């Protein structure tokens, strides 16, 4: 698929199903992620794949690390258990923070964010669906421990990837003139003025 078409037409897909993502598809996604902009080439991003049975094992951690989980209704408990089953593949995008004289820590996370966006676009170009999610589990210490994260690691996203189980929504029409101005050397001028 043409790159501009994939960038402009991609939408997030939340209803995802099998079949499993192939090795070749995964490698395409990883290579796309690894081409993210990266100030000073510090390589701050790590990607952890979760598929098959591992999804329910981590789903159990999601549930049991939730305060007072035992008091939750069966339905709520199943919701936590099933969170990662919403796609055949979940990629946890992790940023490994480090100090650098020229690269603020925020920029390390921005690089991982760019990697995630590249994966979303590459998934779309491959005919797959994907959605970037975060939520409370991003900060959960039991989840962090289960995934083997170290103190400097932060989870920047859970990227759910699969096959769209319905027809993906249409991208919204957005007028660039609503968001873009020209600075003429003195002041901002709307491009449609």
Ligand X SMILES: Cc1cc2nc3c(=O)[nH]c(=O)nc-3n(C[C@H](O)[C@H](O)[C@H](O)COP(=O)(O)O)c2cc1C
Q: Which residues bind ligand X (CB under 6 A)?
A: 11-12, 131-135
Strand partners of residue 154: 95
Residue ranges of E strands in 32-71: 45-51
Q: Are 128 and 161 in contact (CB under 8 A)?
A: yes
Q: How far is the CB of 164 from ligand X (least distance, A)?
A: 12
User: Of 87, 75, 70, whose CA–CA distance to 12 is shortest?
Assistant: 87
Q: Closer CB to ligand X, residue 133 or residue 163? A: 133
Q: How far is the CB of 37 from ligand X (least distance, A)?
A: 16
Q: Closer CB to ligand X, residue 23 or residue 174? A: 174
First to last CA, the chain: 35
Q: How far is the CB of 132 from ligand X (least distance, A)?
A: 4
- Total residue length of the chain: 193
Q: How far is the CB of 12 from ligand X (least distance, A)?
A: 4
Q: Closer CB to ligand X, residue 10 or residue 81? A: 10
Q: Closer CB to ligand X, residue 176 or residue 187? A: 176
Q: Closer CB to ligand X, residue 13 or residue 61? A: 13
Q: How far is the CB of 113 from ligand X (least distance, A)?
A: 7
Label residues 132-162 b or e (16+ Cβ within 10 Å = b): bbeeebeebeebbebbebeeebbbbbbbbbb
Distance of CA 107 to the CA centre of its chain: 17
User: Of 94, 133, 114, whose CA–CA distance to 13 is shortest?
Assistant: 133
Q: Closer CB to ligand X, residue 100 or residue 133? A: 133
Gyration radius of the chain over CA positions? 19
Q: How far is the CB of 182 from ligand X (least distance, A)?
A: 26
């Amino acid at each position: 698929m043409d790159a501009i078409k994939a960038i402009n037409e991609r939408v997030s897909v939340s209803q995802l199903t099998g079949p499993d993502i192939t090795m070749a598809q995964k490698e395409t996604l990883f290579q796309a992620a690894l081409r993210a902009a990266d100030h000073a080439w510090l390589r701050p991003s790590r990607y952890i794949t979760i598929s098959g049975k591992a999804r329910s094992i981590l789903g159990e951690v999601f549930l049991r690390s939730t305060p007072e989980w035992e008091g939750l209704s069966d339905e709520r408990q199943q919701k936590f258990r099933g969170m990662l089953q919403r796609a055949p593949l979940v990629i946890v995008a992790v940023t490994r923070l480090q100090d650098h004289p020229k690269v603020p820590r925020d920029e390390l996370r921005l690089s991982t964010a760019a990697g995630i966006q590249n994966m979303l676009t590459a998934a779309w170009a491959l005919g797959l669906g994907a959605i970037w999610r975060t939520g409370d589990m991003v900060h959960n210490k039991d989840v962090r421990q289960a995934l083997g994260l170290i103190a400097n690691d932060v989870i920047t996203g859970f990227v759910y990837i699969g096959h769209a189980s319905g027809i993906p929504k249409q991208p919204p029409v957005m007028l660039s003139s609503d968001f873009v101005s020209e600075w003429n050397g003195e002041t901002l001028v709307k491009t449609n003025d």
